[in-house]
Amino acid sequence: MLGAPPLLIFDESLNGIDPLAAWEIKRIIRSVAASGRHAVIISTHLVEAVPGLCTRAVLLVEGRIARHWDARQLAEASSGAFEAEVMVALRAGASAPA
């Protein structure tokens, strides 16, 4: 990485890669975020990756915030429970009038 950008955005960085490469990318993201030198935003459709990588999460449905989670909620959520919450919010958002 060149310089020390205050914000790093990882856009769909886990899509379409093998498990070893995904593990390495997750390790790098955690390391960068833990350094305290950068804010990190992760954009992903891989819902199961969110609780293990994020301290805050926001779900956007049709460009609007449908649900958000703080660090405590993410830490307490099992992967399956978090995914279920996301699916409920997606269904509710998809059926809401625009």
10 C-beta neighbours (distance < 10 Å), count = 18
Distance CA 42, CA 31 (A): 14
Residue 1 lies in a domain: no
Is residue 48 in a domain?
A: yes
CB 87 within 8 A of CB 66: no
Q: Is residue 73 assigned to a domain? A: yes
Q: CB under 8 Å to 31, separation ≥6 — which residues?
A: none
Over residues 56-90, the pLDDT tens digits come to 999 999 889 999 999 999 998 876 889 999 999 99
Supply the CATH number for residue 55's domain.
3.40.50.300
State how far Cα 28 lies from the chain centre.
Answer: 14
Number of domains in the chain: 1
pLDDT at 1 > cutoff 80:
no
Residue 45 domain boundaries: 7-95
26-50 pLDDT, tens digit each = 999 999 999 999 999 999 999 999 9
